[in-house]
A and B are shown apart, each in its own frame.
Chain A
C-alpha cells in the first residue's frame, strides 16, 4: 500500500487503474456482468493494484462490486486496516481495506466514462433463478457457465451461498426466496435497530420514505431523500454540504463486507447486494476515520 497521505478524499482514479485491477483478478471480463455503467471510480491514482487480491473468488456480480470499491488507504493512518465484515470462511480477512470512508465519498465519476452496455446476462441461464449463480458463483468462468451443474437444487444453492458470504453471525438477510428481503437498519445514536423489507420498496425514494417512517424522530434530513438517494451520486460540494451540516448519510454493507454509499447502483442491484443498512451522522464521517472505523467495528460486531 502506498504511504498514507493527506489526499483530497474525493479523489478519482483513472479508469485504467480500474481496468488493471479487474484484469488482475481471476475472472474474464466477458463473464462478468458488464457493469461499467455503474462502476464506481473511487480511490486515488495508484491505489488499485494491491487491493482486492481475491476477486478470483468472486462471482461476476461480486467481482464487479469488488472491482468498484476502492478503499482509501490514505485515511488509514496506521497503514493496516484489517477489519473485514465477513472475514470468516472466505479467508478474506485481509480484505479489510478502509472502504468505509470510501462509502461516504463515493462518487460516480465512472458515469462519465461509462460505455452504456446492457449487462450481459450470464450465459445460458434461463430463468430468474439465474440470480442463484450470481449470489454464490465464484468460479472460474468455465464452471460458472454450465447451467444446472453440479446438479444441486436451488434451495440448497442459495442457502450455501448465504452461508459462505457471511461471517459466523446468524444470517441477517433472507436469500433465495423471492418475496422477502429484510435487512437490519441501524442509525447512529438510535437505541435500537430496525428491520426493513427491501422488497416492499421499488426504488430508492421509497426506501428513504420507509426509513424516515421508522426513524422519524431522528431526521434523515433533506439530503437523503432528495439528493443522496436519487441514484446519481453526489457532487463534491453536495457532499461537503451534508457533512458539514451534520446531516445523515445512508450507507449499506454489501456482500463483501464493505460499506458503500446508498444510491450509486441501480435499485435492483442494490437490493441484491445490500446486507444491512446504516444511517451515519455526517460529523462522524469526516476526518475521523480511524475512530470511525473502530467505532463502527465495535458497533457492528455487537449487533
Chain B
C-alpha cells in the first residue's frame, strides 16, 4: 500500500532519468511499477530483438524518446552479413500508433530504409531529434525526407553509416522556416552540400550548439560559418588545408578566439602546421579534441597540446608516434580518455605507429586516465604493468596489438601478465578488449579479478575451453561477451548456461562450437535465442557464427535464410 497518491509518486519518479534506476524502481511493488511506467519518457533498448515493439508500447504509454540498438557490434567490422536484420520499420509502425508524439529516435546498428525515414518524417508531427550511428540501408534521399518534413527539428546527427550517398541536396531541403536546429552533424557524409544553403541555415539557427561539417567545407567557408555561430559548443571542421593563400589565418584565429563556448573540436582533416595554429585561441577551453583524422606528427602535436591544458578526452592517429604521446603525457594532466587509431592498419612499412613506450609516457603524465583505446604493433607485459600502476582508475581498457597472436616482443612470452596486471589493479574495470598471444591464464585472471567487468572482447586468444570457462565462472556483472577466432568449443559455450540470461548477448565466431552444442544450449534455455549463421562453405555441423541473447519476444520472425534459430 502506497503512503502517498499516485500523482505524487509519478512526479517524483519523473525526475529519475537513468533507465537502470528506473528498472530498479519498477521492481519495488506494483504501484511503483505502474507509476514508473506512466512517467517514463525515454526508453533504451540495447538489443532490438530482446523485446518486441508491441510489448514496449503496452508497458510504456507515454514515451517521447527511443534509443534502439540492433546488430551485434562485430557487424562494424564486416562479420555480420548484410540483410541480417535489425530493421527499424516494425518499430516505427507500432510507434506511429502508440507514440504519435514521439520526439526523438536514436538508432545504432539498425537497418533503416529511405521509406522508413520518410515514414518517420511524415507520421510524427512533433519529431525533433534524429541520431543515426553505424546504421545502414538508406540513402541521402531518406535524409531529404527528414529535412523536408520535420518542422521542429532540433537534432540531425548522421554518423558513420553505410549510406548510399547520392549527393548533398538533402541539406537544401531544410525549409527557410526552420530555425530550431541545435545539432547538425554531417561529417561522415561525403558529398558536397550547397554552401549557400548551409550558410543560411546556420545563420538562422540561433540555438545551434553542435556543428560538424564534412570534409568538403573549406577553411574560407568555415570562417564564414563560424562568424554566424560563435555560440557553438562543439565544432567539427571541414578540410583544414587550403591551396590558395588568401591569408585567412589571422581572421580564422580571431574567429576561433571568438568562440568562447567551444569545448569540443574535431574534423581537422588534412591539418598541417600552417593552419593548425588558428585553433590555438580556442584550445584553452577544449575538453575534447578529436585529431583522429589529422595526420599530425609529433612536433605539430606537441605545439598544439601546449595550448590544451584542460583536455579530458583526446583522440589521435598513430602518426604522432611515441614522441607525440610523450607530449600528451607532459601537456595534459587532466586527461581521462585517450584513443590512438592506426593511420595505416594494414601496412607496417609506412608508419611504425606507436609502441609500448608511448603508452607508458602517457600513463606517467596522466594518472586520471580511465578510458583507453590503443592500436599498436608491439607491447610488453612490463609496460602494461607499469601503465596499470600509474593509472589504477581504468574503467575501459581496449588494447589492440594489431598482429594477431603476437607475444611480448621482448620476452617472447604470452601477454597474460599484462592483462593480469590490469584486472588485478584496476578494480573499476567495466570494459576490456584483449589481444596478443594469450593463453588460458589471461582468462583465469579475468574471471578471478574483474568484479565489475561488463563488456569483454576476445580475438585470437586462449588455449582451450578452460579460457572461456574461467570467464563464465567469474565476472559476476558480465553483460556482453564477444569472441572471435578462439579455440573455445561446446564445453566452453555450455559453461555459461546459467549466465546467459543475465547477459545482453554472446557472440562467438570462428570458434570450435558445433550445431550440437548450440542445440543443447537452446533446449536448456528456452528464454534465450540461440542463432547460428550458416556459412556457405563448410559442412553443416560447425556453428560458424553464434549469437545468443536473452529475449522476451521469442524467436525472430524476420530472420533471413542464413540465420537459424534453434
Contact = CB atoms under 8 A, between A and B. Distances in A.
A164 interface: yes
B347 A153 contact: no
Given A147-B79, A152-B77, A179-B139, A160 B404 contact: no
Contact of B293 (A125, A133, A138, A159): A159
Given A146-B404, A178-B165, A180-B165, A152 B345 contact: yes
A296 B442 CA distance: 59
Interface of B is mostly: loop
Contacts of B79: 126, 147-148
Given A160-B345, A168-B241, A176-B190, A153 B76 contact: yes
Nearest to A178: B164
B270 interface: yes
Interface string B396-413: 000010111000000000
A214 to B, nearest CB: 17
A189 interface: no
Interface in A113-149: 125-130, 132-133, 136-139, 143-144, 146-149
Interface of A is mostly: loop
A55 to B, nearest CB: 12
Interface in B37-61: none
B78 A147 contact: yes
Given A155-B160, A163-B295, A90 B350 contact: yes
Contacts of B349: 56-57
A89 B351 CA distance: 9
Interface in A157-205: 157, 159-160, 163-164, 168-171, 174-180, 182
B183 to A, nearest CB: 19
A179 B165 contact: yes
Given A126-B78, A180-B165, A171 B188 contact: no
B344 interface: yes
Contacts of A150: 342, 345, 375, 400, 402
Q: Which of B165, B241, B402 has the most CB of A within 10 A?
A: B165
Given A148-B77, A149-B459, A164 B343 contact: yes
Contacts of B345: 150, 152, 157, 160
Contact of B166 (A126, A143, A179): A179
B5 interface: no
Contacts of A177: 163-165, 189-191
A155 B270 contact: no
Interface string B261-296: 000000000101000000000000000000011010
A57 B344 CA distance: 11
B295 A89 contact: yes
B346 A143 contact: yes
Contacts of A171: 215
B78 A127 contact: yes
A136 B346 contact: yes
A141 B268 CA distance: 33
Contact of B270 (A146, A157, A168): A168
B458 to A, nearest CB: 12
Given A91-B350, A150-B400, A168-B272, A178 B243 contact: no
B274 to A, nearest CB: 11
B166 A139 contact: no
A137 B79 CA distance: 17
Interface string B142-177: 000000000000000000101111110000000000
A156 interface: yes
Q: Which of B77, B241, B347 has the most CB of A within 10 A?
A: B347
A56 B348 CA distance: 11
Contacts of B400: 150-151
Contact of A174 (B78, B191, B342): B191
Contacts of B65: none
Contacts of A147: 77-79
Nearest to B373: A151
B470 interface: no
A155 B133 CA distance: 11
10 contacts: A90-B350, A137-B346, A139-B347, A150-B375, A150-B400, A153-B76, A153-B134, A156-B160, A178-B165, A180-B191
8 nearest A-B pairs in the assembled complex, by CB-CB distance: A148-B77, A177-B165, A139-B346, A179-B164, A174-B190, A155-B160, A177-B190, A138-B347
Interface of A: 56-57, 89-91, 125-130, 132-133, 136-139, 143-144, 146-157, 159-160, 163-164, 168-171, 174-180, 182
Given A126-B78, A174-B165, A182-B192, 12 more contacts: A128-B82, A143-B346, A159-B293, A160-B344, A164-B343, A168-B270, A170-B239, A174-B190, A176-B190, A177-B165, A178-B163, A178-B164
